[in-house]
Amino acid sequence: MLAVVLTTSPAVGAEKPLARFVAPPAAAAELDPLLKRVLESLRLGDPFDTEDDERLLRRLHISATEALATEGYFSATVTAEQDPEDRARYVLKVDPGPRATVAAVEIRLHGAIEEQPARIEEIKAAWDLPIGRPFRDAAWSTAKTQLLAQVGERDFAAARLVDSHAEVDVGSATVKLLIDIDSGPAFTLGALNITGLDRFDAKLVERFNPFAYGDRYDAAKMLEFRRRLQASPYFARVSVDIDTGTEQPEDVPIRVDLTEAKTKRLSFALGYSTDVGARLEATYRQSLVFGYPYALQTGVGADKTRQVAYADLLLPPKADGALDSLGVLAEHTDIEDVITYRQAAGVVRATKHESGGIGYESRITFNLQREDRSVADNSVAPVTNVVLSGVYSWTRRTVDSITDPRTGDVLTLRGGPGLSMSGIADTFFYTYGRYIRYFEVGRTDQLILRGEFGHTFAGDINAVPNDFLFRAGGAGSVRGYAYQSLGVKTGSATLGSRSLITGSSEYVRWFNKEWGGAMFYDIGDADDHLFDVKWAKGYGVGGRWKTVAGPLGLDVAYGQRDHRWRVHFAIAIAF
């Protein structure tokens, strides 16, 4: 038998704890944590009188039976006797009896919702504690909360729980459930009632509003309204709600209470990775430009492979949530002995929305850039490209968490044409796709699969800027190889290629809530004739540490092609 032992601070002369619980082997795994909490509920820090054992045992008996009842064991018995193993003064033997199951569920929905019989049936069908399910007090509370939320999520913002009770039949170990909810009236929404504005105009807030005048109440859209305001650079605190106590539920004003954010912000970030070495970034952001609610963001960044300076002007969102921006950039890179100087100006429209728990993002970018490209050993003649490009990017996310995904997937697709100023013959078309899938394996393990593919259709690859060509290697690509070292080799340089394919499988075991270990196998390459080359393979092991920004990895990988080990690591700190 499994047992939970109480360790007390014994009274003077006492050498053993007061009591321990013993549960039947079949139920011990489930009941031991519960009974442990019962033992810990005593005032264990206070010495107790050994002559008062009966009172303390009676308290344990009552607490144990009450705790077992919350798990559906309504006929449990607890008997006390001297501990024959002498591990405690007493042993409390628990017979939980049969666990009660739900025998009947009656859901009463009344109010304006009665005019929506299909909605009523939909809500009842989604009830989370159906007939035949074991009864648990926590599950009963959660099911009631979810039911009320389902009623109130559309139309019925004032829905309230009128009555609920669970009728227990101890003899038959069954429970009959009753839930009575008054939906209240159906609400429609009116104009915005905004407070807290000083520097910004109310028209700015209206740009974030997903509701039209007269729309039905929708809790999800109300939350999205608040999220969009909070995510903007204009506001530090946001509250969005309606008056559910009004006697006039038609065209109810939406109350928006705001605290404006500081309009100027300077921030710095320091990072390090084995791919690019130490990295320093400085960013300045201003959310009010010449009296208009435009956000100016400019910054500089540098690491051993890239130095960049940029400035972006972000316009207020459109009614459909689309965000427009325009910007300029100057960049110098030196990666695998390929040296580029790039100047670019572009415009972007970005959209983001969620449907059915799935997140979607898209970006349309038009960019005019000049790139001067050369190689360090002059084995390839320098080239200059002036290109106008248009790229569409689409991402779908079904992961359960953005920063710490356990299940789900992420799919990204990009593509678009580029027109060289040297002539129509140098037009190219760029395509790229990346897919990551997360699988839970039991309670602690995880399998992560990743694949990516890219190809640029071009007559003359020298007329294609580096941004639209491909190299592989490093963390996030094929581990065991230097950052972007896989591609077409010319002298000491690794040039960008027409095609890319990489794949990865990684198995992670989490030892606790913060630390884990991983094994992985990566394969892939970048080349102009990808299927004629012997693909690079890398494999190894690593450690994982969960942070608020996501898991941090330290990997040791063996590159089979180069016959050498490499360490891959990255960390970033913002301040």
Instruction: Give a yes or no: residue 271 inside a domain.
Output: no
* Other CB atoms within 10 Å distance of the CB of residue 538: 27
- Tokens in use for 106? 């009656």
Give dist(CA 178, CA 134) in Å, integer.
Answer: 16
- 508 contacts 445 by C-beta, under 8 angstroms: yes
Instruction: Give a yes or no: residue 273 inside a domain.
Output: no
Q: What is the pTM of this model?
A: 0.73
Q: Assign residue 416 a region: left if phi > 0, alpha if psi is -120 to 50, beta otherwise?
A: left
- 505 contacts 524 by C-beta, under 8 angstroms: no
Question: In this predicted model, what pLDDT tens digit does every residue of 351-376 receive, in sequence order?
Answer: 988 877 798 999 999 999 999 999 99
Give dist(CA 142, CA 483) in Å, integer.
Answer: 49
Which residues are CB-neighbours of 266 under 8 A, at least 6 positions away?
282, 283, 284, 285
Instruction: Give a yes or no: residue 499 inside a domain.
Output: yes
In this structure, are 149 and 204 located in the same domain?
no
At CA 396, angle to CA 392 and CA 397, rounded to 5?
145
Instruction: Give a yes or no: residue 277 inside a domain.
Output: no
3-class SS at 291?
Answer: coil
* Other CB atoms within 10 Å distance of the CB of residue 368: 15
Instruction: Give a yes or no: residue 291 inside a domain.
Output: no
Give dist(CA 559, CA 520) in Å, integer.
Answer: 12
Could you give the strand order of the β-sheet that contains 19-22, starting from the edge strand earlier in sequence?
3-5, 19-22, 90-95, 77-82
pLDDT value at residue 573 = 59
Give dist(CA 16, CA 18) in Å, integer.
Answer: 6
Give dist(CA 550, CA 401) in Å, integer.
Answer: 10
Q: E strands along 74-223, which residues?
A: 77-82, 90-95, 101-110, 160-169, 174-182, 189-195
In this structure, are 153 and 231 located in the same domain?
no
Domain final residue, candidates 45, 64, 95 = 95
Domain count, the chain: 4
In this structure, are 81 and 115 located in the same domain?
no
Give dist(CA 225, CA 404) in Å, integer.
Answer: 25
Which helix (H) or strand (E) covers residue 467, if one does?
A: none
CA distances from 181 to 22, 105, 117, 175, 218 (A): 42, 14, 15, 20, 18
**Nearest C-alpha neighbor of 216 from the set 237, 239, 242, 193:** 242
In this structure, are 312 and 339 located in the same domain?
yes
Give dist(CA 295, CA 59) in Å, integer.
Answer: 64
Give dist(CA 373, CA 345) in Å, integer.
Answer: 18
DSSP 37: H
Which residues are CB-neighbours of 231 under 8 A, at least 6 positions away?
none
**Nearest C-alpha neighbor of 325 from the set 289, 371, 372, 281:** 289
Instruction: Give a yes or no: residue 392 inside a domain.
Output: yes
Instruction: Give a yes or no: residue 270 inside a domain.
Output: no
Length of the chain: 575
Q: Which domain holds residue 215?
A: 189-260
- Tokens in use for 223? 């939350």
- 83 contacts 3 by C-beta, under 8 angstroms: no
pLDDT value at residue 10 = 42
- Tokens in use for 47? 């010495």
Give dist(CA 553, CA 132) in Å, integer.
Answer: 45
Give dist(CA 565, CA 482) in Å, integer.
Answer: 10
pLDDT value at residue 19 = 83
H helices of 41-192, in order, are 53-70, 117-125, 137-152
In this structure, are 509 and 474 located in the same domain?
yes
In this structure, are 228 and 362 located in the same domain?
no
- What type of residue is 105? V
Give dist(CA 470, CA 327) in Å, integer.
Answer: 24
Instruction: Give a yes or no: residue 272 inside a domain.
Output: no
- Which residue numbers in the chain have pLDDT < 50? 1-14, 44-46
End-to-end CA distance of the chain: 54
In this structure, are 381 and 512 located in the same domain?
yes
Domain final residue, candidates 78, 95, 112 = 95
In this structure, are 45 and 194 located in the same domain?
no
In this structure, are 89 and 112 located in the same domain?
no
DSSP 265: E
In this structure, are 37 and 151 located in the same domain?
no
CATH number of the domain that residue 410 is part of:
2.40.160.50
Domain final residue, candidates 260, 294, 317 = 260
Q: Assign residue 193 a region: left if phi > 0, alpha if psi is -120 to 50, beta otherwise?
A: beta
In this structure, are 355 and 242 located in the same domain?
no
Give dist(CA 482, CA 484) in Å, integer.
Answer: 6
- Please return the burial class of 40, using the count of CB atoms within 10 Å of its CB with bins 0-12, 13-18 and 19+: exposed
CATH number of the domain that residue 200 is part of:
3.10.20.310
DSSP 463: G
- Please return the burial class of 309, using the count of CB atoms within 10 Å of its CB with bins 0-12, 13-18 and 19+: middle
CA distances from 111 to 34, 126, 215, 342 (A): 41, 20, 20, 65
In this structure, are 40 and 118 located in the same domain?
no
